[in-house]
Amino acid sequence: MTHSPLPIARRLLGAAAMAALLVGSAPASAATPKDTLVIAWAIDDIITMDPAESFEISAGEIMGNTYDRLIRFDVSDPSKLLGDTAKTWTVSPDGKTYSFELKDGLKFASGNPLTAEDVAFSLQRAVILDKTPAFILTQFGFTKDNVKDRIRQTGRLTLQIETDKAYAPTFVLNCLTANVAAIVDKKLVLSKEQNNDLGYGWLKTNYAGSGPLKIREWRANEILALERNDNYYGDKSKLPRVIYRHVKEAATQRLLLEKGDIDIARNLTPQDLAALASSKDIKTTSTPKGTVYYFSLNQKNPTLAKPEVREAMKWLVDYAAIGDTLIKNIGVVHQNFLPVGLLGASTENPYKLDVEKAKALLAKAGVPNGFKVTIDMRTVQPVQGITEAFQQTAKRAGIEVEIIPGDGKQTLTKYRARSHEMYIGQWGADYWDPHTNADTFARNPDNADDAKSKPLAWRNAWAIPELTKKTDAAVLERDAVKRKAMYEEIQAEFRKTSPFVMLYQQTEVAAFRSDVQGLKLGPTSDTTYMFKVSKL
């Protein structure tokens, strides 16, 4: 049977021609434009542009670049506070009233003037809307009913904030540097108000700020475009445009960076970073972040509730190996709940892998042959690697760890319902003050199942009335030196008795093209300032 190959050949030729055409239309140059900074980052956690609602990490950075607040802290020395829109501030002798005087001549990106009226409005709005981050302000006693009296404008450029107790001034002022205290354009926001929502529906996807960059467009899970705000009071943004591209896959980010299609990659893995170390075109920068990782033991489980078992677990983690391999470049072993950089942080790391010691403790607890336990784990690295490593070392003491893998939200749901046995998780500082972590690790006012607040200590059913009192006292201590000592004491006790096996503090790393200048990652999500970055 013969047949002419012509029709087939014709078709394939056509296909080849099409391929040639496409090759010809490939981009001539792959570099990013000189006036635009392009950053690849997984930004699918952003759900809102409203600073009164925004709390996720990526959103935090956007807010930090686009909205001003009363004060910020100095990124190179977080114990120093700098006036942002505030020129000066004082604390009353009784420690409950804070008075601020604003700089004059400030304007929003819209052109509207920025006065104390906008500042008071923004803070009140955050309290009234009462979204997730509002607790940072409401913890000072503000409620929907009293906030208009407690946070009041006293002059065109002056306002006063009255707290319910005499808290440590550093605590209050540090909370005012948070994103929830960002200043929004009252006139603009109220002009878009619907159904008395204080502009909430509009601001969710729009911009009303005064920061060095303004939000031009946000396409969820695709791209976020920022532009220079020429009305900014300080040094204008070095580059006119900053674009965040949502790229979920680390390998894809790496390829884009190597080709120069992006300037900065934020989610590279330790392997990627090691491979890029030898590249001439790519550099890296890193900063310790206020996020700590830990294992936790649910105290509802009778075996895990035994104090000797709690301690034994801390001796069964191979911190050295984890530090050298699994978290290399992305974390530092840290066995305390206060991240380094916060007042009162401790760098005491007394635990190391000691199987014999653990075995002895287990024998004392009455379980010399070990026991079975499950751990809920998110299927991401390095969490997965660390859990598997722990499974290995725990086995040597007779503890059989069964890993229950799950998706992030799935494991979190189980954790918050206290239905886990062991859990591996992380906690990032909400604001730059030690109370943010002490409040969740070392404070549990109500251990009942229907408690109104559910800090991490509650999630693990750790009943600590005495420690809670100490934590409450520390936040009211106005002397910084004394306060520091109090947190060190709390952490010492925590290290010994808590059901938390603290593992490491996160280091954030970014890789960037060598023509990018001035990139410095901040300790919190909102202190990475892209407006200070330039390109050669």
Partner 1 sequence: MNGPRTLDPAEQSPTAGRAGDRLLRAGDVIGRFLLVILLTYLGLLAVTFFIGRVIPIDPVLAIVGDRAPEHVIARVREELGLNKPLWEQFYIYVTKVLQGDFGNSVLTSNPVMQDIRRAFPATIELATLGTIIGAGLGVPLGVWAAVRRGGLADQFVRVMGLIGYSVPIFWLGLMALVVFYARLGWVGGPGRIDIVYEYTLKSVTGLLLLDTAMAGEWQAFGNALSHLILPAALLGYFSLAYISRMTRSFMLNELGQEYVVAARAKGLSETRIIWRHALRNAMVPLVTVIALSYAGLLEGSVLTETVFAWPGLGLYITNSLQNADMNAVLGGTIVVGSVFIGLNLLSDLLYRLLDPRTRDR
Contacts of 351 by beta carbon, 8 Å cutoff, 6+ apart: 314, 315, 317, 319, 335, 495
In whole angstroms, what separates CA 110 from the centre of its chain? 29
Binding residue for partner 1 (CB under 8 A) from 80, 156, 248, 496?
248
Nearer to partner 1 by Cβ, of 142 and 319: the residue is: 142
**Cis, peptide link before residue 455, omega less than 30° from 0:** no
Comparing CA positions, the residue from 31, 36, 32 lying closest to residue 533 is 36
Region binding partner 1 by CB under 8 A among candidate stretches 144-152, 161-169, 238-246, 397-405: 238-246
Which listed residue (77, 149, 249, 324) binds partner 1 by CB under 8 A? 249
Which residues make beta-bridge pairs with 90?
Answer: 99
Work out whether 13 is an interface residue with partner 1 (CB under 8 A): no
Mapping DSSP to helix (H, G, I), strand (E, B) and coil, where does residue 116 land? helix
Reduce the secondary structure of 435-487 to three states and give it as a string: HHHHHHHCCCCCCCCCCCCCCHHHHCCCCCHHHHHHHHHHHHCCCHHHHHHHH
Point out which residues pair with 37 in neighbouring strands: 242
- Contact between 30 and partner 1 by CB under 8 A: the answer reads yes
Chosen residue from 95, 97, 99, 130 binding partner 1 by CB under 8 A:
130
Name beta bridge partners: 161.
Answer: 98, 151
Q: Which residues contact 410 (CB under 8 A, 6 or more apart)?
A: none
Residue 288's beta-bridge partner residues?
A: 507
Gap between the Cα atoms of 534 and 536, Å rounded? 7
Instruction: Tell me the window of 10-18, 162-170, 278-286, 521-529 that interacts with partner 1 (CB under 8 A).
Output: 10-18
Is residue 147 a contact residue for partner 1 (CB under 8 A)? no
Is residue 17 within the footprint of partner 1 (CB under 8 A)? Answer: no
Instruction: Give the x/- contact pattern for partner 1 in 58-97, rule: CB under 8 A.
Output: ----------------------------------------
Q: Look at the alpha carbons of 236, 240, 244, 250 in this order and tell me if their dihedral is positive or negative.
A: negative
User: Would you count residue 408 as binding partner 1 (CB under 8 A)?
Assistant: yes
489 binds partner 1 (CB under 8 A): no
Which of residues 221 and 517 has its CB atom nearest to partner 1 in the complex? 221
> Which residue among 102, 114, 134, 330 contacts partner 1 (CB under 8 A)?
134
| Both tokens assigned to 222 | 């695709």
Taking the alpha carbons at both ends of the chain, their separation in whole angstroms is 68
- Closer residue to partner 1, CB minimum distance, 89 or 458: 458
Q: Does 1 bind partner 1 (CB under 8 A)?
A: yes
| Chosen residue from 144, 259, 469, 496 binding partner 1 by CB under 8 A | 259
246 near partner 1 (CB under 8 A):
yes
Min dist CB 95 to partner 1, Å, is 25
Is the Cβ of residue 185 or residue 430 nearer to partner 1 in the bound state?
430
Per CB under 8 A, residues contacting partner 1 are 1-4, 6-8, 11-12, 15, 22-23, 25-27, 30, 32-33, 36, 38, 40, 44, 47-48, 55-56, 130-135, 201, 204-205, 219-223, 225, 241, 243, 245-249, 251-252, 255-256, 258-259, 261, 407-410, 412-414, 416, 430, 451-454
